[in-house]
Amino acid sequence: MNIREIQEEICRLKKERDFCILAHSYQARDIAEIADFTGDSYALSVKAKSTPQQNILMCGVRFMAETVKILSPEKNVYLSNPVAGCPMAEQMDKELIRQVKLAYPDHTVVAYINTTAELKTICDVCVTSSSAVKIVSQLSNDQILFIPDCNLGAYVQKQLPEKKIKLLQGGCPIHASVTQKDVLTAKKAHPHALMLVHPECKPVVCDAADYIGSTSGIVQYAMESPEKEFIIGTEISIAETLQNACPEKRFYPLSKKLICENMKSTTLMDVYHCLKDGEGAEINLDNRTISKARMCIDRMIALGG
Ligand code: 13P
Ligand code: SF4
């Protein structure tokens, strides 16, 4: 079978087996084409609540599939490649955060959605990169403990100087690898390009950007902009997606290091075998974890909508 035939077979199987396929914006083009919905972490969370199908296949990383299960516990939820995890989500465990909470008992604990379901059970509210500023601004408590991404937390702090945000040293190893030197090199090579970056990048990188936003935010900004050249400061797939969507514009990755092996590990064949042979990892969470973790995700959706 060629790629087109595999895609057609996936579309036939997903109808026959009552599957909805959700794909994060970082997924490859051949996967995005067969997905029922693509988007950033926030949009995927909202969508997870309302899919009519009984089975959901997440093409992305494990915390995204867990979020779907938490929001739709009555459904069967699968992660298309069992080894696709987000290293940031594994950086801080429940015991560590329990200890930190003891040191900061008056703080509201804000968890980036890139955390495990287990860790979410002891947090107050979740945020995504596209909703963090909006959500933190609405919290009545000005004392915030923001975990785990110190770069996203620093970005929120800059937008909301009235809040006192305590940060821990976590973050995305891919986005945090971009340096000021990378920025200078890219700007020198493309002096007329606008620079669009994800807030998981370091403050020194964000400070030099023309726009800071989530994966979908970057895509939307570049597509709607009348400008013709863009330096893209997020995972390299977004520059590829934009280049396919807007052939008359030019997109340059901010750094060659912006490759997330975990997001790239899912292939079209993984999706095919999940639907045909039952491969993939079913997400199982106990009821207690689901109900406790759900509180902070529901709060995120209520405040972020
Ligand atoms: P978004 O919230 O922009 O989808 O980001 C998710 C992510 O993992 C970025 O690295
Ligand atoms: Fe996690 Fe970073 Fe990969 Fe996003 S790009 S999934 S935050 S490791």
Q: Looking at the structure, do residues 278 and 255 belong to the same domain, yes or no?
A: no
Q: Looking at the structure, do residues 203 and 238 belong to the same domain, yes or no?
A: yes
Ligand 2 touching residue 64 (CB < 6 A): no
CA distance 131 to 305: 9
CA distance 138 to 299: 11
Q: What is the 219 CA–ligand 1 centroid distance (Å)?
A: 12
**Atom number, ligand 1, closest to the C-alpha of residue 113:** 2
Counted domains in the chain: 3
Q: Looking at the structure, do residues 293 and 155 belong to the same domain, yes or no?
A: yes
Q: Looking at the structure, do residues 252 and 124 belong to the same domain, yes or no?
A: no
Q: Looking at the structure, do residues 159 and 296 belong to the same domain, yes or no?
A: yes
User: Quick one: pLDDT at residue 275?
Assistant: 98
Q: What is the 153 CA–ligand 1 centroid distance (Å)?
A: 14
Q: Looking at the structure, do residues 183 and 166 belong to the same domain, yes or no?
A: no
Residues of the chain with confidence (pLDDT) below 50: none
Q: Looking at the structure, do residues 245 and 204 belong to the same domain, yes or no?
A: yes
Domain at 14, CATH number? 3.40.50.10800
User: Quick one: pLDDT at residue 48?
Assistant: 82
User: Quick one: pLDDT at residue 45?
Assistant: 83
Give the percent of the chain with pLDDT over 90: 96
Q: Looking at the structure, do residues 71 and 201 belong to the same domain, yes or no?
A: no
Q: What is the 64 CA–ligand 2 centroid distance (Å)?
A: 11
pLDDT in tens, 201-230: 999 999 999 999 999 999 999 999 999 999
Where in the sequence is the domain holding 228, given as residue range(s)?
175-259
Q: Closest residue (by CA) to atom 1 of ligand 2?
A: 86
Q: Looking at the structure, do residues 124 and 72 belong to the same domain, yes or no?
A: no
Q: Looking at the structure, do residues 208 and 141 belong to the same domain, yes or no?
A: no
Which of 88, 200, 259 is the best mutation target for the ligand 2 pocket, counting ligand atoms within 8 Å of the beta carbon and taking the most? Answer: 88
Q: Looking at the structure, do residues 100 and 46 belong to the same domain, yes or no?
A: no
Q: Looking at the structure, do residues 48 and 108 belong to the same domain, yes or no?
A: no
